[in-house]
Amino acid sequence: MAKYLVIVESPPKAKTISKILGKDFQVKASVGHVRDLPRNKLGVNVRKNFEPLYEILKEKEPIVKELKEAADEAEQVYLAPDPDREGEAIAWHLSEILELPNKKVHRIEFNEITKDAILAAIKAPRKIDKRLVDAQQARRVLDRLVGYKISPLLWRKVNGRSAGRVQSVAVRLICEREVEVEGFDPKEYWSIKAELSRSRSKQSFIAPLYKYEGKRVIAASEKAAANTMVIDSEKLASKVLKSIENEEFKVSSLTEKSSQRQPSPPFITSTLQREASTVLGYAVKKTMQVAQTLYEGVELGAQGATGLITYMRTDSTRVAQSAQEEALAYIKNRYGKEYCPDKPRVYTRKAKNVQDAHEAIRPTYPENSPEAIKQHLSSDQYKVYKLIWERFMASQMSAAELSTRTAEISAGEAVFRASATETKFAGFTIVYNRPAKSAVTESDGENADDSNGTGEMSGETQSLPELTKSEVLKLKDIKPNQHFTQPPPRFSEASLVKTLEEEGIGRPSTYAATVTTIVDRKYVERVNKTLVPTKLGKAVNLLLVEHFGGIVDVPFTRDMESKLDMIEEDRVDWHSMLKEFYQPFGETLKKAEENMNKVIILSDQQCPECGEQMAIRSSRFGQFLGCIKYPECKTKIALTKEGTPVPEDRPTEEKCTKCGGPMLIRYGRYGDYLACAKDKEECGEQRPILKITGVKCPRGECGGEIVEKKSRRGKIFYGCSNYSQNQCTSAYWYPPVISGGPNNSNKCPQCGTMLVYKTLKRGDQVACSNKECTFAQPITGEEKHA
């Protein structure tokens, strides 16, 4: 029997830590929160000082029972949820539920799941930090009050699904950006580029117009200042060209400037999410899911289960001294002493509400380079880990040394400028060579006119020949180019996260959930990787801004986050903070209930019965279209998950297995399926649409075929076509081999059972589907599979 019990949040983390601690420790998972506010009522006693009325989550009752039994038998209990407010609250809830003596319960935390970190945490337990717990309780109660009080009002007035303290501000930001986009008035401007070369050289270079008549030429999107000008018409562009058509192009100035390019800080949550979005095209939710697996531990062969990165929910760029020393030793050994800076780099942040409790996101062991452990990682894990490892190692390296040569070429009243930058010393860029303009940093900006604005005006990276002052150059070509200023870009998931962080809205742990919620609620939709408000989102936002403008407001939300931080620092009492918020909120809510008008969101569909327009409405099952003449006309049209009308039943060649009648393709809650054309009373057969593989079920007596299916959680597997009729239980996670296996067959050469095509980290292989058979071999490339 194990002497000690360690409780963590997730089963994968429990598995990794269990291997580290050994047989004296039993490691179990709470699988997230086990106790929370009730789902079907407010759950906050406002009159009793905002006391939360917690209850054990129904689906967690078996887990709680198991944890209680294990805790009663253990000599000591270590509570080890994540090292943040949410994790501290989970530890506190567990301590309350387990009802153990204080001397028996200990809180431990670690920033990485490595042997050294876990053993150090066990040796240095502490008490639960009630300040962190109070900050989490205040946030939970505050969110519940806003959500449960405003959401019913939205249901009645606009069929809106819900409101939230942070999510509604995010929707407001997206809606306000959409107003800017839709109301944008593009302005015309022109750039002029000259293609030049030395008199006897074939090598040419491009020099954009830099000055004209003593004024610097700028894009229409740039801020005008003294001695600047915009070429705002074709007429003016033609005038410039005409004025220099007979002029010599003479080198009037040559300069050379040395500079350094500094590495970016290691990742924090928001910059990792943005970089993964920019480089990998990942949604913020996917990035965090992959990072979670890297943090919780991956099997590395002989090394065993190892946490590969530090805790991934952080807004600090701080790095532990020991980690810096390990990184610098690795850099010196692999790249050379010159790639180590004179002194270790220290990164600090000036953003609002920064909490410095955790380190930046970094690899736990620098020697675990992406290539060294690639065989143990999935494709997604490898890509995300590679970003984290390279960014961190680069952040500890020397700056890149650059030399920029600039030539100014005069032609009458016009001055053209060309530049070329050469790398003298690669520095950190040998590891992490993202272009400076596109690398995500804390201060990165968005230039809506980058493709045809300032980039056009200031020159491009190119090769510049050796020129001499006063040298006359040959004009090969000169072209005017028309441009128009672009509207501000719509938010992407990455840029929305950036804005939320800059404005001090939410925490690193809430960014992904916020984006997911507003998309799931149909307030926002993804269009070409941008976030665009829906009709429902716009309508809900207008009502909230009109009646709750002071709450769904950036400064208010930022102030709330600051107060939560002050609760954590023991500078503000959380009950007092809630009382201060609730009194004016209650008055605002009362006025909204009296004054808020019902809003109808019209669709483009006409009612098939009466010809009136259909309106977008919501129910607990999702959105649908309802006639605006309701209750006189009760026509309803169901909508798909994509928001389009559900298609009518479609004929098929399939026959009903019960009555022999024709089957129809019908749309249901989970998509298309097959249904008997007869009424349910007469027959009612339903079955999924099967994707036939052409492979017979290996259990020959059942007569079925192997078909592609989906599990309840949407994961694809392969099973017998008689599986749903409970006639056969053949099921496989891997697709069956159709042909091209050993002896050009799809049968196992050892036992004759069906072969499957396995896609594995260590390489694809053909293997026997019979669990008792050991046959497996690497693929040859001849195999065909479903």
Model confidence pLDDT, tens digit, residues 372-382: 999 999 989 99
pTM: 0.76
- Closest to 517 (Cα-Cα) out of 275, 285, 173: 285
Q: Which segments in the chain show pLDDT lower than 50?
A: 436-460
Q: Report pLDDT for 442.
A: 41
Distant-in-sequence, close-in-space partners of 269: CB < 8 Å, separation ≥ 6: 288, 312, 313, 314, 315, 361, 508, 509, 511
In degrees to the nearest 10, what's the CA dihedral of 753, 758, 760, 765? 70
Side-chain half-sphere of 280: how many Cα atoms within 13 Å? 21
| Look-up of token digits 């200023």 | 485
- Closest to 197 (Cα-Cα) out of 400, 3, 466, 7: 466
Dihedral (CA of 141, 86, 36, 102) sign: negative
Conformation bin of residue 483: beta by default, left when phi > 0, alpha when psi is -120 to 50: beta
Q: Where in the sequence numbering do the catalytic residues fall?
A: 311
Q: Report pLDDT for 690.
A: 75
CA 100 to chain centre: 39
Distant-in-sequence, close-in-space partners of 572: CB < 8 Å, separation ≥ 6: 563, 566
CB 124, CB 324: distance < 8 Å:
no
* Helix or strand (DSSP H, E) at 463: none
pLDDT tens digits, one per residue of 117-150 = 999 999 999 999 999 999 999 999 999 999 899 9
Q: Report pLDDT for 455.
A: 34
Mean pLDDT of the chain: 88
In 10 A of CB 48, how many CB atoms? Answer: 8
Interstrand relation of 228-229 and 215-217 (parallel, antiparallel or unpaired):
parallel
CA 777-707-717 angle, 5° bins: 65
